[in-house]
Amino acid sequence: ALIAPAFDDGVGLCLMEAAALGTPVIAADTPIFREVVGETAVFFDLFDSDALAECLHRAIVAERPAPRVSRAWSAAAADLFAIAANFGKRSRGL
């Protein structure tokens, strides 16, 4: 689970990434976090440690399928090398 106990975290990019991967998100009950991840997260009051403990317990015992990785690192690396090679060809032409 991703735990986000922050008052202010900009746009909450790490929450969006975690939710997109199927990782349970436990976030402070702030307007930005509610806007970013909505109903995909469990929210807790920053000043209530019992509420955080309950959220953690729910995340641990929840039945859910393991998130599937949609892409292998080898494929991502191959794409990166192709981009670098293409950039190198263009740079030599200048």
Q: Are 29 and 43 in contact (CB under 8 A)?
A: yes
Answer yes or no: is pLDDT of 43 > 80: yes
Q: Which run of H or E residues covers position 32? A: helix 31-37
Sequence-distant (6+) residues with CB within 8 A of 14 are 2, 4
Answer yes or no: is pLDDT of 87 > 80: no
What percentage of the chain has pLDDT greater than the value 90? 21
Average of per-residue pLDDT across 64-72: 57
In this prediction the pTM is 0.61
Structure tokens at 87: 């950039």
Average of per-residue pLDDT across 51-74: 74
Structure tokens at 70: 């949609």
For tokens 């292998």, name the residue. 72
How far is Cα 24 from Cα 83, in angstroms, rounded to an integer? 33
Q: Residue 73's pLDDT is what?
A: 67
